[in-house]
């Protein structure tokens, strides 16, 4: 079992991977038992050779996508503490020892490398990314009642328990959103650590699709809110249908009936009843799924205990 596993997902990062690996080796010399893993995701340049020559353990994930890479890393690597950092040399490796100490000595489950509270908005040259980061942070902190300062950062530290109980469902860059919400909803201890950020060096190309990845992130937020807060989600749908049906019912059916004593708009009455039925179904669906979610929370606590016991066995 490694003392510290530094996980670096990489795809066509020949320009920066060697520097990142050597910088990580330099700052982790004092942490005995550190292993640097570079997980290559079908790179077509010299990323693999450069990473291996720099001193990293190189492994491969052939299913394309950052989420697929992280699933592979979390499944294969056993360590007391994990630090995940991007291969593009935009994050300061000097923060690794402090992030390691927070997990190792203070029992933190996830340390979030917070770019947005430092230099991100000055260094990042893509304005829509700035807006997107702010929108996603505000949306998640509002919906999930948390205070994570940087939802989409790729610089994080994790405990063994987090890594071995986190179900990776996303395949792309929305994985960071999934991590943040999972930690919050499972009441795991999360801390923010302000880090400096520098933009990619000239000639290094970002793999992010501003609009495509942005829409996938928003879709992930919506799906996770539905999964973690089903009663609130379906209750809101139920409320909308009830209000809409009552307004339509009153205007198109009740008012004419009060004046003439006749139901002049029978199709409208039928539609109104259908809307009310949908509202009732949504309400009870939310109640049932809320009970299922409560059971999932209890099962997760048992999974945490199992992960802790496994960690003790591996340590011995």
Look up the pTM and report it. 0.85
SS (H, E, C) 237-258: HHHHHHHHHHHHHHHHHHHHHH
Give the span between the Cα atoms of 9 and 309, in whole angstroms.
28
* Domain-wise residue ranges, the chain: 2-226, 230-315
For residue 286, the surrounding DSSP H or E stretch is helix 266-315
The hierarchical CATH code for the domain 2-226 is 3.90.550.10
Give the span between the Cα atoms of 242 and 245, in whole angstroms.
5
Q: What is the pLDDT of residues 170-183, one digit of tens each?
A: 887 789 999 999 99
Q: How confident is the model at residue 256 (pLDDT cuts 50, 70, 90)?
A: confident
Least confident window among 38-47, 87-96, 165-174, 232-241: 165-174
Token representation of residue 37: 């893993």
Closest alpha carbon to 82 in 147, 148, 166, 139 = 166
pLDDT at residue number 306: 93
69, 9 contact by CB (below 8 A): yes
Closest alpha carbon to 186 in 301, 308, 307, 309 = 301
Least confident window among 76-80, 98-102, 252-256: 252-256
Other CB atoms within 10 A of residue 55 CB: 14
Helices of type H across 166-229 = 175-185, 210-228
Give the span between the Cα atoms of 132 and 113, in whole angstroms.
17
For residue 193, the surrounding DSSP H or E stretch is strand 190-194
pLDDT at residue number 205: 65
Q: How confident is the model at residue 316 (pLDDT cuts 50, 70, 90)?
A: confident
Other CB atoms within 10 A of residue 89 CB: 21
Residues whose CB falls within 8 Å of the CB of residue 105, separated by 6 or more in sequence, listed in order: none
Other CB atoms within 10 A of residue 100 CB: 24
The DSSP bridge pattern shows strands 79-84 and 156-159 to be: antiparallel
- Which residues make beta-bridge pairs with 40? 10, 60
pLDDT at residue number 204: 63
- More confident of the two residues 122 and 154: 154
Least confident window among 35-49, 179-193, 267-281: 267-281
Q: Is the pLDDT of residue 64 over 80?
A: yes
3-state secondary structure of 99: helix
String of DSSP letters for 111-145: EEEE-TTTTHHHH---HHHHHHHHHHHHHHHHHTT
């Amino acid at each position: 079992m490694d003392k510290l596993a530094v996980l670096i997902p990489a795809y066509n990062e020949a320009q920066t991977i060697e520097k990142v690996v050597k910088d990580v080796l330099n700052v982790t010399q004092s942490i005995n038992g550190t292993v640097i893993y570079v997980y290559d995701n079908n790179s077509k340049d010299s990323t693999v050779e450069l990473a291996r020559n720099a001193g990293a353990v190189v492994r491969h994930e052939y299913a394309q996508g950052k989420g697929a890479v992280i699933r592979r890393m979390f499944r294969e690597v056993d360590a007391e503490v994990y630090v995940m950092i991007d291969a593009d040399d935009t994050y300061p490796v000097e923060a690794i020892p402090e992030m390691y100490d927070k997990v190792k000595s203070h029992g933190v489950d996830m340390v979030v490398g917070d770019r947005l509270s430092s230099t991100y908005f000055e260094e990042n040259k893509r304005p829509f990314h700035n807006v997107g980061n702010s929108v996603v942070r505000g949306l998640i902190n509002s919906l999930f009642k948390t205070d994570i300062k940087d939802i989409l950062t790729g610089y994080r530290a994790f405990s063994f328990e987090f890594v071995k109980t986190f179900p990776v469902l996303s395949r792309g860059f929305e994985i960071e959103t999934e991590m943040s919400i999972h930690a919050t909803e499972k009441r795991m201890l999360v801390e923010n650590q302000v880090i400096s950020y520098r933009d990619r060096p000239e000639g290094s190309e970002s793999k992010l699709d501003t609009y495509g990845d942005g829409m996938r992130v928003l879709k992930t937020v919506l799906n996770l809110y539905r999964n973690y807060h089903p009663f609130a989600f379906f209750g809101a749908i139920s409320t909308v249908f009830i209000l809409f049906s009552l307004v339509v019912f009153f205007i198109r059916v009740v008012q004419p009936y009060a004046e003439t004593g006749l139901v002049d708009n029978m199709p409208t009455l039928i539609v109104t009843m259908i809307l009310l039925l949908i509202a009732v179904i949504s309400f009870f669906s939310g109640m049932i799924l809320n009970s299922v979610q409560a059971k999932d929370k209890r099962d997760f606590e048992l999974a945490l205990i199992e992960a802790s016991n496994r960690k003790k066995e591996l340590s011995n």
